């Protein structure tokens, strides 16, 4: 069992102020993000759900999956979503030496079909010594709300409840288009889209290149 916080603590956001935690706005906009794809069937199902609500999202892709499933990533882009770098092999920065980590980020960047400066460290774990050389060319995108869809001990209902409770205008929300998260994500996504759409929110992709 992995402990995590649904809402990113303010102190953490202040300490790592160079990272992107949310996208403040006075408008009713939410930024859904999906980590770990593209994955056959699952990513395609996500695209179908987003299309039903004319919602846009951001997909942080693993380079190895991009190489295996380029046609799915092409579909992501065709439908107007943005993509970002999630390393080539889903590396945990805390457990990886800097040289290996940075080379892995570069390897992912090399297989992405469009230019992007969006990067999200897997598990949200990155050393400052790794972030520092990345920041001149990348925006390190973290999150405001972590749904916990990857936690199999959590019920889908609990994931949905906490997602709705903590999401506000400008929130960057993390979901996963992965096999591990499927049970919870497939419950949370359509209900989140419906709930906030009925409240007058819209869902947008993060800009492919954030300044």
Whether the predicted pLDDT of 2 surpasses 90: no
Domain count, the chain: 1
Quote the pLDDT of residue 211.
Answer: 83
Q: pLDDT, tens digit, for every residue of 144-153?
A: 999 999 998 9
Confidence grade of residue 1 (pLDDT, cut at 50, 70, 90) = very low
Say if residues 118 and 85 touch (Cβ distance below 8 Å).
Answer: yes
**Structure-token pair, residue 192:** 């989140």
* CATH number for the domain that contains residue 31: 3.20.20.370
Residue 184 lies inside a defined structural domain of this protein: yes
Q: Position of tokens 């999906």?
A: 34
* Percent with pLDDT over 70 in the chain: 98
Helix axis angle, 182-198 to 42-52, nearest 10°: 10
In a domain, 5, yes or no: no
Domain for residue 52, yes or no?
yes
Asked if residue 208 belongs to a domain, the reply is no
Residue 194 has pLDDT above 80, yes or no: yes
Reported as a pLDDT band with limits 50, 70 and 90, residue 14 is confident
Inside any domain, residue 33:
yes
pLDDT of 140 above 90:
yes
Q: Domain containing 154: what range?
A: 10-203
Query: Residue 69 falls within a domain, yes or no?
Result: yes
State the angle between helix axes of 156-166 and 182-198 in degrees (0 to 180), rounded to the nearest 10: 40
Of the pLDDT bands very low, low, confident and very high (cuts 50, 70, 90), residue 118 is: very high
Q: Is residue 30 part of a domain?
A: yes
Report the alpha-carbon distance of residue 203 to residue 25 in Å, rounded. 13
**In 35-123, alpha helices (H):** 42-52, 63-68, 70-78, 98-111
């Amino acid at each position: 069992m992995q402990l995590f916080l649904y809402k990113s603590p303010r102190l953490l956001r202040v300490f790592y102020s160079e990272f992107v935690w949310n996208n403040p706005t006075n408008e009713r906009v939410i930024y859904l993000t999906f980590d770990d794809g593209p994955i056959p069937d699952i990513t395609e199902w996500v695209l179908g759900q987003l299309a039903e609500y004319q919602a846009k999202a951001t997909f942080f892709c693993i380079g190895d999956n991009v190489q295996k499933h380029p046609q799915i990533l092409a579909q992501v882009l065709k439908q107007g979503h943005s993509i970002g770098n999630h390393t080539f092999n889903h590396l945990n920065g805390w457990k990886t030496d800097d040289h290996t980590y940075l080379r892995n980020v570069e390897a992912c960047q090399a297989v992405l079909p469009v230019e992007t400066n969006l990067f999200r460290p897997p598990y949200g774990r990155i050393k400052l010594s790794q972030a520092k050389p990345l920041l001149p060319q990348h925006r390190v995108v973290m999150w405001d709300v972590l749904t916990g869809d990857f936690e199999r001990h959590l019920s889908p209902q609990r994931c949905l409840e906490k997602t709705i409770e903590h999401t506000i205008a400008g929130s960057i929300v993390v979901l996963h288009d992965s096999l591990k998260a499927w049970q919870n994500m497939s419950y949370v996504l359509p209900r989140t889209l419906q709930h906030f759409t009925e409240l007058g929110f819209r869902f947008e992709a993060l800009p492919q290149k954030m300044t």
